[in-house]
Amino acid sequence: MPVVIAAVVLTYDPPPGMLEDCLAALQAGGDVEVILVDNGGRAGRLPSALLAGVDVVAPGRNLGFAAGMNLGIRRALERGATEVMILNDDVVVEPGWLAPLVAELAGDRVGAVQPKLLFADEPPTINSLGVALGRDGAGTDVDMHEPDDPTDLAPRELAVFTGGAVLFAADFLRHTGGFDERFFLYYEDVDLALRGTELGWRFRLAPASRVRHRGSATMASIGTRSAYYRERNRIWVLVRHRPWSDVGRGVWLSVRRLRWAPRGAHAKALLAGLGAAPRLLRARRHASNSL
């Protein structure tokens, strides 16, 4: 079967020029079919020439990251994609970005390959070389703010990828079911990576593939909901995937955060996180019994 690569870009309410730069770089830098999921109904502001050949999917409301990306992924698979790249609208690919990702995805049981994410500023510094999970469940980007080493080109194994820019194998997406849409925003990529690992999939980092991350205004626009989703979803990941000692550390962190603003969002997140424990524990037992 010939390789058909689709690039799914998720957008909500980007500042002028951001989405334009993302789409223009994709169209110039690789043989990909571009699918734009327009969560905020803003695609109509773009020049028609830029949307030529772009499949625009407009759900009519903000589905969040997880459901929005799943919508684009389903469209890509329906169109016959064998590999699906997902990107935020604030990411710009550099020339030559695609080939290193495709090469690594050809490996045995490789389900996802992440490029090197760099901040857009000069001189370039690292945004992400993958995600590391602390004992309290907090996810941090590997080597964030470290200077970029342009000689760092060797592919390597990756434990957890970031959803900001990653290439998936279609079989991996079908096997895992994609993102858990209940997350809405934050940690859905961590959950997907950990579920994929349970199913025997591997992940790779291809630092020869470089993309620039500008940084979006979307997070600021949702106010305290950002803190709520981040805190609730961290607890979900802990209860579903992590050792019990880590669950205790993570819940205690949530309790301590009740002293900090936004207190209401933190309290609701703690309750919602623990309230989902029965569902998460059932999924945990099912995964353990399937091994």
Residue 217 binned pLDDT confidence (cut-offs 50, 70, 90): low
Query: Are residues 111 and 81 part of one domain?
Result: yes
Residue 220 binned pLDDT confidence (cut-offs 50, 70, 90): low
Query: Are residues 122 and 199 part of one domain?
Result: yes
Domain end call among 188, 218, 248: 218
The torsion region of residue 169 among left (phi > 0), alpha (psi -120 to 50) and beta comes to beta
Residue 49 binned pLDDT confidence (cut-offs 50, 70, 90): confident
pLDDT above 60: residue 248: yes
- Per-residue H/E/C for the chain: CCCCEEEEEEECCCCCCHHHHHHHHHHHHCCCEEEEEECCCCHHHCCCCCCCCCEEECCCCCCHHHHHHHHHHHHHHHCCCCEEEEEECCEEECCCCHHHHHHHHCCCCEEEEEEEEEECCCCCEEEECCEEECCCCCEEECCCCCECCCCCCCCEECCCCCCCEEEEEHHHHHHHCCCCHHHCCCCHHHHHHHHHHHCCCEEEEEEEEEEEECCCCHHHHCCCHHHHHHHHHHHHHHHHHCCHHHHHHHHHHHHHHCCCCCHHHHHHHHHHHHHCHHHHHHHHHHHHHHC
Query: Are residues 141 and 31 part of one domain?
Result: yes
Q: 91-93 and 202-213: which strand pairing?
A: antiparallel
Query: Are residues 117 and 60 part of one domain?
Result: yes
Report the pLDDT averaged over residues 243-265.
97
Query: Are residues 103 and 37 part of one domain?
Result: yes
Query: Are residues 281 and 167 part of one domain?
Result: no
Report the pLDDT averaged over residues 79-94.
97
Query: Are residues 94 and 34 part of one domain?
Result: yes
Query: Are residues 282 and 191 part of one domain?
Result: no
Domain end call among 218, 239, 272: 218
**Average pLDDT of the chain?**
94
Counted domains in the chain: 2
Query: Are residues 16 and 64 part of one domain?
Result: yes
Cβ-contact 93, 75 below 8 angstroms: no
pLDDT above 60: residue 79: yes
Domain harbouring 112, CATH code? 3.90.550.10
Report the pLDDT averaged over residues 260-282.
97
Which residues is 34 bridged to in the sheet?
7
Domain that holds residue 283: 223-290
pLDDT of residue 219: 57
Query: Are residues 205 and 273 part of one domain?
Result: no
Query: Are residues 67 and 164 part of one domain?
Result: yes
Angle of the 188-198 helix axis to the 277-290 helix axis, nearest 10: 30
pLDDT above 90: residue 101: yes
Domain end call among 191, 218, 245: 218
Query: Are residues 271 and 190 part of one domain?
Result: no
Look up the pTM and report it. Answer: 0.96
